[in-house]
């Protein structure tokens, strides 16, 4: 038999996917964040993620590729 337990605070505080991994919601207009390890995510995946989060949050994001990182900025 498997016991059903209440979820821990750590579990309840965890967020899934792009919403929890990157600061989409808290990013102000004109600010950006960088992903320094370019091997963790592809540029096309990041652009798709920025588009979807923009639609969901009614904001606009742009992804820029630099030599050593990806930069994601909020436009509006």
19-53 pLDDT, tens per residue? 567 888 888 999 998 888 888 889 999 999 999 99
Host domain of residue 50? 31-71
Residue range 54-60: mean pLDDT, rounded: 95
pLDDT of residue 55: 95
Could you tell me the pTM of the whole model?
A: 0.72
18 pLDDT above the threshold of 80: no
* 4 found inside a domain: no
CB contact at 8 A, 46 and 60: no
What span, in angstroms and rounded, lies between the C-alpha atoms of 54 and 4?
37
* 2 found inside a domain: no
* 63 found inside a domain: yes
* 43 found inside a domain: yes
């Amino acid at each position: 038999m498997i016991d059903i337990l209440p979820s821990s605070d750590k579990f309840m505080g965890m967020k899934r996917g792009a919403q929890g991994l990157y600061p989409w919601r808290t990013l102000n207009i004109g600010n950006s964040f960088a992903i320094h390890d370019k091997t963790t995510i592809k540029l096309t995946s990041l652009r798709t993620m920025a588009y979807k989060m923009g639609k969901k949050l009614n904001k606009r994001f742009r992804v820029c590729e630099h030599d050593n990182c990806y930069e994601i900025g909020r436009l509006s």
